[in-house]
Amino acid sequence: MKTYNPEKYWDGRFRKGFNLEAVGFDSFGKSFNRQQYRMKRKVLEKIVTSHIKCLGNRHVLDIGCGTGFYVDAWKEWGIKNLVGIDIASQGIKRLSKRFPLYKFYKSDISSPTLVGSKFEIITVFDVLYHIVDDKKFEQAIKNIRKLCADNALILITDIFPHKRPYILKHQKSRTLENYEQVLQRNGIEIVSRVPVHCLLNAPLDVSNSWLQWVALSVWWKLVVGGMQKLTHLPGFIFYMVDTLLLGFMKESISTEMMVCRPMVKE
């Protein structure tokens, strides 16, 4: 069995195609991934505008900048100072050419030797669950705290399951309790959690193990995966349904965006 190597894994995916399928669900196609990321951007804009005034002069750090989806959004919203880091050199080369206004570096957020300046907005979208080693995960959180300016806004996306972690070779979605402990231990407090997806991502936060298996194997892989092969409509329909559901849901059984701040020393 091959050992999971994050750099090789992501460079390999980016060589196949530098698009949303490379960072999303490659087997679900362009239409579904477009709607999924459309919802992520919608939630991000809502959170950022509700927490920060005068957005344009803020310094942004995009951890795991990938194919530049969020870089595009920040540019559109008037951000002038942005740094993107990613473990995959393929992405960094492309983004440096595409966005000459910003700076991009090949870097590992879980490295104990990571250095950098301070940022007022730090995003870690769909990154931390790809750090499967717990020691590296904690180091990543330490580094994030070290990169925070005073009263920085830290945004993390994951599923934050309540009962048990979801573990694959290249993924480890840790429990909400685990996140709370590691963040607090490293001087970061959780302000809120905002639902991002309900139908547009796998329903991993199901407490009953049998129901979780049904949700993933029958619903997500067979039904959703099968529909995507037949038509492009599911992504659009799920986007519309998620828009309605997330309007009143306080928690999701799928992706959430965790809003955090560095703890202030008294």
Show pLDDT as tens, one digit a residue, over the chain (266 residues): 468 888 999 999 999 899 999 998 888 888 889 999 999 999 999 999 999 888 888 999 999 999 999 999 999 999 999 999 999 999 999 999 999 999 999 999 999 998 889 999 999 999 999 999 999 999 999 999 999 999 899 999 999 999 999 888 889 999 999 999 999 999 999 999 999 999 899 888 988 788 887 888 887 778 787 777 777 788 899 999 999 998 889 999 999 999 999 997 75
Q: Alpha helix locations (H) across the chain?
A: 6-16, 20-23, 29-51, 69-76, 89-98, 134-146, 176-185, 209-213, 225-230, 233-245
Give pLDDT, residue 190.
Answer: 97
Query: String of b and e for 91-103 (b: at least 16 CB within 10 Å)?
Result: bbebbeeebeebe
Query: Interior CA angle at 232 toward 226 and 236, to 5°?
Result: 110
Q: Which two tokens stand for residue 7?
A: 């750099």
CATH number, domain containing residue 248 = 3.40.50.150
Pairwise CA distance, residues 49 & 27, whole Å: 33
Judge whether 55 lies within some domain.
yes
Give pLDDT, residue 266.
Answer: 59
Residue 205 has, within 13 A of its CA and on its CB side, a CA count of 20
Query: From residue 31, how far is each of 61, 112, 125, 162, 217 by CA, in Å?
Result: 28, 39, 20, 30, 22
Residue 25: domain span = 6-262
Judge whether 1 lies within some domain.
no
Judge whether 18 lies within some domain.
yes
Judge whether 58 lies within some domain.
yes
Centroid of chain to Cα 51: 19
Q: How many domains, in total, are found in the chain?
A: 1
